[in-house]
Structure 1
């Protein structure tokens, strides 16, 4: 399960595009905390630290304890925007989380066991159908990833969502019979002779 991470922020007195640009010029990333029955709260984060958190992985499934002027509250990132050219964060949305609350998150799928799959050894290809799984779960039980093993699978075999080990109280947002990963047949290459014949001039084939 993901651990709660600490993050420092400062309050923003003004909102809007102009105010957001001013925040970015100061080396900060504008953000908003909303939900939990309280009014939205505009904050600013250190831009470099925010970038590190986003590119460090699992950002959207991590619970943060945000401290603003000594006041702490638990949140989970709901969305973020990156500059299309320079890839630095230009805005983050946080959702407040409270005890007893559930959230909907996308959890990445990690496939293991390829070296123990007869299908892979015989040339089969691991085809991941669902790279992430959406679940409804309590924030404290959000997993960093779902590990799915293809050990023992033959070509043509598949694994469905029912094999996932869901956290306590978690639910899938789709059917448990949905395919997550399959061992596809190897790619068949065209015969060299057939390729040569196809490329030859028509008069040469007459």
Structure 2
């Protein structure tokens, strides 16, 4: 289970409509709405700087938040839309959806690699190349895994691990249907270069020319 779901602080917004939204923006806030979960929609506003910081951090629409609003119970939410200014590309409105514990959502879950110290390929000088430090999974809101563990202890140089070889947390499945790669162990560049140098150039046999091996020049007129 995840140890901590990040908090997202918001304020309940008084008034609705374009006038109230414009006033919120003048006050340095971004207006928004929280909907779903068998409860009435809740108009909110979030400090512009705080929202912009989280947007720049990435994965905003695939991150589960614990929304804290004064006078309201904490609720788990996920962003469903961010409206932006068409010229400045800055957030002007944000929509959140409440989640039940049984709700299915897409989240990026970090990958932890174990067994590096005993991997034969790495012991021989191979290099672990991480292709996906995170995997997007379909998970249950009430049972979000903290991480996905990938065991690389048996990998030799040239081996790789794909998603089909990974034991995922119970109830989780990838959002991508194809069998994509997670990591591989490759030979170090120095070893590859040394291997190229060890290859001896092919020898060319030199034949001493004699009168018998030199083709006679054609006589003029022939």
TM-score range, shorter chain: 0.5 to 0.7
Separation (CA, whole Å) in 2 of partners of 1:104 and 1:127: 25
Unaligned stretches of 5+ in structure 2?
198-222
Separation (CA, whole Å) in 2 of partners of 1:82 and 1:110: 35
Superposed CA deviations along residues 5-62 of structure 1, whole A, max 9, x for unmatched, are 554422253466x866753553434443244466754411245655676788986443
Secondary structure class of the residue paired with 1:140: coil
Secondary structure class of the residue paired with 1:120: helix
RMSD after superposition: 4.1
Counterpart in 1 of 2:155? 153
Counterpart in 1 of 2:209? none
- The number of equivalent residue pairs is 189
Counterpart in 1 of 2:29? 28
Q: Which moved more, 1:112-121 or 1:33-42?
A: 33-42
Counterpart in 1 of 2:100? 98
The two structures have a TM-score, normalised by structure 2, of 0.61
Q: Which has the higher strand share?
A: 1
Contact 2:128 2:183 in 1 (8 A): yes
Counterpart in 2 of 1:180? 182
Unaligned stretches of 5+ in structure 1?
193-206
Secondary structure class of the residue paired with 2:142: helix
Superposition pairs for residues 1-206 of structure 1, below 5 Å?
Answer: 1-2=1-2, 3-4=4-5, 7-11=9-13, 13-14=15-16, 23-36=24-37, 41-47=42-48, 50=51, 60-67=62-69, 69-70=71-72, 72-78=74-80, 92-175=94-177, 177-187=179-189, 188-189=192-193
Contact 2:159 2:184 in 1 (8 A): yes
Separation (CA, whole Å) in 2 of partners of 1:111 and 1:11: 44
